[in-house]
Amino acid sequence: MNDRSRREFLKLMGVGALAVSCRGLTGCAGERPRPNLVVVLADDHRHDMMGCAGHPWLKTPELDRLADDGVRFTDAFVTTSLCSPSRASFLTGAYAHMHGVVANATSDPDPGLPTYPELLHDAGYETAFVGKWHMARWSTPRAGFDHWVSFNGQGDYERNTLNVNGSWELSERYLTDELTDRALAFVDRPREKPFLLVLSHKAVHAPCRPASRHASLYDGVAVEPAGLDDPRLERERARYMSEYARTLAAVDEGLGRLRNRLDELGITRDTAVVYAGDNGYFMGEHGGLWDKRAAYEESIRVPLLMSYPRAVPSGAINKAMVLNLDLAPTLLALAGIAPPPAMQGTSWLPQLDGAPGREEFLYEYFEERGDVPTTFAVRTRDWKLIVYPENTGSTTEMYDLREDPGETMNLADDQDHADMRARLTAALARLSEETGLSASGLPNPGLQM
C-alpha cells in the first residue's frame, strides 16, 4: 500500500477498534494509579520451549514463575512470522499490510500509525526501549521513547556498538546480560511518573550462542526429538535444540533479575509484566523446515505470559486466541487510554474475565528471499486454510487441527471436506476485506483460491 492509499484507508478504518474495557477486572484504570508496564520480547522463541508449556527437559524457572504469578496464553499467535513485521505489529497493533513493514530490516512502521509507546508517552508515561529494534537498519532513537539503547540490525551475542540516546558506546559483554543490566538501570531511576520499559532481546536468534556460564548446561540430558523420521534430521535438531536451550537460559535469568528488582523496589503489585516471542521457529518439522515464515503452527505460535497482581489472577491458563496485534490495545487499556481506530488488534483483558474471544484470524507473509512464497492463511479454532496467491506451483493446504495437530494430512482436495474449504475460503476473503488487505495494493488471497 502506498502512503496515500494507506492514509486514505486509515481515515475510514474502524475495523478491530474497541473502547477501553476492563470488565470485571479489579484495578481497572480510574480505580487505582496507572500501572507501570514492562514488555520483554524474545526473538524466535517458539511456544512450546518452556517448562510451563510442558517441555520434557528444558528448564525455564523464571518464565514458569511468571506464568505461576499470572496467566499463560496457550493459543497466542503472530500475524506474520518474521522478526521485523511482527515487531512492528506489536508496536502498532496493525497488520503488516497496514504498517508497511513487510520484510526484515528495511523500514520502520508508517509514521501515520501511532505506536503504543508514543501514546503512553503522550499520556504521561516515562518510556524506554532497550535492545533489538530490527526494523529500519539504523539504531538511532525512535519517537515515543525517553530513553533508548539499541544496535544496528541483528547485533552480535558478544560485541556490540550501542546507541545510547544518540551517543555510541562499545560493549564487549554478553548481549543478553548487557541489555538486562541496562533495563535494570532504567527501572532503578527515581521517578514520579509511571513507566514503560520494552526489553527486546536478540536471543534466541540463530546462530545461537549461550553465555559462557551456560556452555555445559544440559550436558548429559537425553535430547530425543519426536516426530522426525530422518535420523540425520533428528541429530541436527537435537544439536540445535541444546544450543537454543542454553542460549535461552540467560533470557530466563534476566527476566528473574528484572522481576526481583520490581520486588525490591516494592512496585511489583503496580507493574504489569508481559513476556512474548516475536515469532515461532521450525526445528526440522514438515519434512525438514528450519527458521520461520511458513504458516504452520511451529512458526506462528508464540509464548505469551502476563502478570499484574492488582488485576490478573495467578496461575491462570487462558485458551483465548490472542495475537501480537493485541498487545498494544491491551497496554493502552491498562493505562486507561482508548486505542485509536487504526489499531486492528483488541485488548485481551476481557478474555481474562471469561469473555469470548476471536474465532479466526488472518495470517500473511510476503515473499522476502525466495524460500517461502507469499502466503495467506485463515486459522480458526479447529481448522486452517493456507493459500499461495502468487505461486501457481504451490498447492492449497487445509488441515483439521483437532484431528491432525501436526498438519500432516492435507484435506484441501478431499471432497468429503469441500464444504469446509468453501467456508474457510469465504472467511479468508472476508478477513482480507475487513483488514484492508484487499485495498492495500499488495497481493491478497482474492488473486487465487
HEC readout, 204-221? CCCCCCCCHHHCCCCCCC
- Residue of higher predicted confidence among 14 and 125: 125
| Predicted model pTM | 0.92
Which residue blocks in 155-230 are alpha helix, DSSP H? 175-187
pLDDT tier for residue 126 given thresholds of 50, 70 and 90: very high
- How high is the pLDDT of residue 266? 97
Query: Which grid cell is 394?
Result: 504451490
Q: Encode pLDDT of 343-382 as tens digits.
A: 999 999 999 999 989 999 999 999 988 789 999 999 999 9
Long-range CB contacts (within 8 A, 24+) of 215-223: 215/246, 217/245, 217/246, 217/249, 218/57, 218/242, 218/245, 218/246, 221/57, 222/57, 223/57
Beta bridge partners of 73: 318
Pairing type for strands 167-171 and 360-365 reads unpaired
pLDDT tier for residue 17 given thresholds of 50, 70 and 90: very low
Least confident span in 97-101, 127-131, 295-299, 444-448: 444-448
- How high is the pLDDT of residue 447? 55
Beta bridge partners of 5: none
Are the C-beta atoms of 259 and 275 separated by less than 8 Å? Answer: no
- Does residue 102 register a pLDDT over 50? yes
Residue for grid cell 526440522: 284
pLDDT tier for residue 53 given thresholds of 50, 70 and 90: very high
H or E element, residue 123: none
Taking the C-alpha atoms of residue 17 and residue 34, their distance in angstroms, rounded to an integer, is: 22
pLDDT tier for residue 427 given thresholds of 50, 70 and 90: very high
- How high is the pLDDT of residue 105? 83
- Does residue 7 register a pLDDT over 80? no
* Nearest in space to 323 (alpha carbons), one of 376, 283, 291, 363: 363
Domain positions in the chain are 15-355, 373-441
Give the dihedral sign, CA 199/202/204/208: negative
Taking the C-alpha atoms of residue 344 and residue 52, their distance in angstroms, rounded to an integer, is: 30
- Does residue 29 register a pLDDT over 70? no
Taking the C-alpha atoms of residue 411 and residue 378, their distance in angstroms, rounded to an integer, is: 15
Q: Is 199 helix (H, G, I), strand (E, B) or coil?
A: strand
Tell me the fold of 373-441: Arylsulfatase, C-terminal domain (3.30.1120)
Give the dihedral sign, CA 263/264/266/272: negative
- How high is the pLDDT of residue 33? 82
pLDDT tier for residue 442 given thresholds of 50, 70 and 90: confident
- How high is the pLDDT of residue 12? 43
Per the prediction, the chain carries an average pLDDT of: 91
Taking the C-alpha atoms of residue 384 and residue 184, their distance in angstroms, rounded to an integer, is: 42
pLDDT tier for residue 446 given thresholds of 50, 70 and 90: low
Which residues are CB-neighbours of 250 under 8 A, at least 6 positions away?
Answer: 174, 176, 177, 203, 210, 211, 214
- How high is the pLDDT of residue 87? 97
**Residue by residue, what is the 3-state secondary structure of 234-276?**
HHHHHHHHHHHHHHHHHHHHHHHHHHHHHHHCCCHHHEEEEEE
H or E element, residue 24: none
Amino acid of residue 5: S
H or E element, residue 51: none
- Does residue 205 register a pLDDT over 50? yes
Are the C-beta atoms of 304 and 52 separated by less than 8 Å? Answer: no
Least confident span in 187-196, 373-382, 385-394: 385-394
- Does residue 234 register a pLDDT over 90? no
Per CATH, 15-355 and 373-441 having the same topology is answered no
pLDDT tier for residue 391 given thresholds of 50, 70 and 90: confident
The CATH number corresponding to 15-355 among 3.40.50.10140, 3.40.720.10, 3.30.450.20, 3.40.50.300 equals 3.40.720.10
Task: Please compute the mean of the pLDDT values over residues 81-100 and round it to a whole number.
Answer: 97
- How high is the pLDDT of residue 223? 85
Query: Which grid cell is 102?
Result: 513487510
Which residues are CB-neighbours of 373 under 8 A, at least 6 positions away?
Answer: 367, 388, 390, 391, 394
- Does residue 230 register a pLDDT over 90? no
- How high is the pLDDT of residue 21? 36
